[in-house]
Amino acid sequence: MSRPNTFRVLVFSVLMIVALMAAACGGNADEQVLFNKYFQSSKMGDNLTLANIATMPFDPAKDGQMTSFSIKEVSPDRVMQLTLKAGAEEMRAAQAKEKEFSAKKQAFQDDNTVAIERIVKAEQKGTKLAGRDLELEKTWSKWREDAKAMSQTVSDVRKKANEGRQVVELSCVDQRNPIDVTAYDGSLVTRDVTITGKVKPPTGETVEKTFVFTISQATLKNVNGKDFVGRWIITDKKEVGK
């Protein structure tokens, strides 16, 4: 009477062992595939492949060659909401404002071309101005100061708007179906992967080193009616102890 129960216990135990082995082998499957390709491409100088999976190589001339490795730890995910769409809208608004300002500045310059030429020559020679030219010089200086400030504002907005864009575009690149990543909301998932491996330096004996790599994956919301999940890419590397 006990045989069926014993059989069920044995089967259950075997299934649990198989499940645990599968989990152990496949728990870091995404990372394993990514870094296999990364180290192999770096070793072979396959820049085309590297350009699609990382923002930097594992340079054989500087870093050496990773001959074997194992993934020791994967950090919890860090999720950041993308601001590329809002940044693009802010950029368009800043450019429109700059265009309007430039038109007004040009109109003032056109209305006072001869006087401005005199002012510029006087500034170059260090000659003092008087009367109407002195007043006009103050106004023209204000226009130039405002133009410089406007240019800096647009530059700052552009820099902010493009933060993270390279990573998102690399994660979502698809030559067959190009995507304007600034047209969508979405998120960027980032995690750290600790790797220990045997590295053959450009000169000398093979040594064991540990690195912490950062990998990222972008997801764009509602692209042609569904979310677009990008590929994992390597965005940073640091050698532990350096």
Q: How many CB atoms lie within 10 A of CB 193?
A: 23
Q: Torsion over CA of 19, 24, 29 and 32, rounded to 10 degrees?
A: -160
What does residue 20 show for φ and ψ, rounded to 5 degrees? -65, -40
Note the helical H segments in 54-210. 84-111, 113-125, 131-161, 165-172
DSSP 75: P
Whether the Cβ atoms of residue 228 and residue 220 lie closer than 8 Å to each other: yes
Whether the Cβ atoms of residue 80 and residue 187 lie closer than 8 Å to each other: yes
Nearest by Cα to 91 from 186, 181, 160, 165: 160
Cα angle 203-208-213, degrees, rounded to a multiple of 5: 105
What is the Cβ-side half-sphere exposure of residue 117, based on CA atoms within 13 angstroms? 4
Please name the helix (run of DSSP H) or strand (run of DSSP E) that holds residue 12, with its range, or none: helix 3-26
Q: How far apart are the first and last CA of the chain?
A: 65
Distance of CA 112 to the CA centre of its chain: 46
| Torsional sign, CA 87, 91, 93, 94 | positive
| Torsional sign, CA 110, 116, 120, 123 | negative
Q: In tens digits, what is the pLDDT along the chain, a chain of 242 residues?
A: 444 555 444 444 444 433 334 333 445 788 999 999 999 999 999 999 999 999 999 999 999 999 999 999 999 999 999 999 999 999 999 999 999 999 999 999 999 999 999 999 988 988 888 889 899 999 999 999 999 999 999 999 999 999 999 999 999 988 788 889 999 999 999 999 999 999 999 888 999 999 999 999 999 999 988 999 999 999 999 999 87
33 vs 30: CA distance, rounded Å: 5
Q: How many CB atoms lie within 10 A of CB 190?
A: 17
| Torsional sign, CA 21, 27, 30, 36 | negative
